[in-house]
Amino acid sequence: MKTLSEKQLLKRIKSKYDYHHGALHFKDGERRAGKKVGTRSGIYMTTTVDGALYYVHRLTFLYCNGYLPKMLDHINNDRHDNRIENLREASRNQNSHNRVMNKNNTSGVKGVTFHKKTGKWMARVRYNLDVIYCGIYSELKDAEIAVKKKREQLHGKYANHG
């Protein structure tokens, strides 16, 4: 994807930002005046500018902040919620810390699995490329407390408990 400056964005898209709904709209006087910028394409909203494809959440961040970071994170994990307060700059690791619980999780607690050998609950947290062991617990609730505490310690504001 190309890199646009804010000046190029304003010139090419000629849009206005709806802060309440988190959407870019074409300005009056345009053929598509009032319509939202972008279409649903896969998991993100996309649009083309000068023949190049762009993610609408990235253009929204650029429009509101004047620069375009390497990576953005949707705080609430809703990839169609492009309100500026839901977008934040993040590294690849920080973005991965904000993941939701896997669909195949059987314990109902992110980072906790049943350890068959001991018949207890094992708590682990991913941090960067490592798996951090948080202990084995007789009670699921104790494993949940341990994994949440460790995740908050390691992931900070990017911690997502499920």
Please give the pLDDT value at position 50. 72
Q: How confident is the prediction for the chain on average, in pLDDT?
A: 85
pTM recorded for the entire structure = 0.76
Tokens coding 45: 């909203």
The pLDDT of residue 6: 64
User: Can you list the domains of the chain with their CATH numbers?
Assistant: 6-89 (3.90.75.20), 96-158 (3.30.730.10)
Residues 20-52 pLDDT 10s = 788 888 777 667 777 888 888 788 989 887 777
Contacts of 121 (CB under 8 A, 6+ apart): 107, 112, 113, 114, 115, 136, 137, 138, 139, 140, 142, 143
Angle subtended at Cα 60 by Cα 101 and Cα 42, rounded to the nearest 5 degrees: 50
Q: pLDDT value at position 10?
A: 63
The residues that bridge with 75 in the sheet, in sequence order, are: none
Among the ranges given (14-18, 84-88, 115-119, 132-136), the one the predictor scored with the smallest mean pLDDT:
14-18
Top-confidence residue, 65 or 32: 65
Assess whether pLDDT exceeds 80 at residue 1: no
pLDDT bracket for residue 135 (50, 70, 90): very high
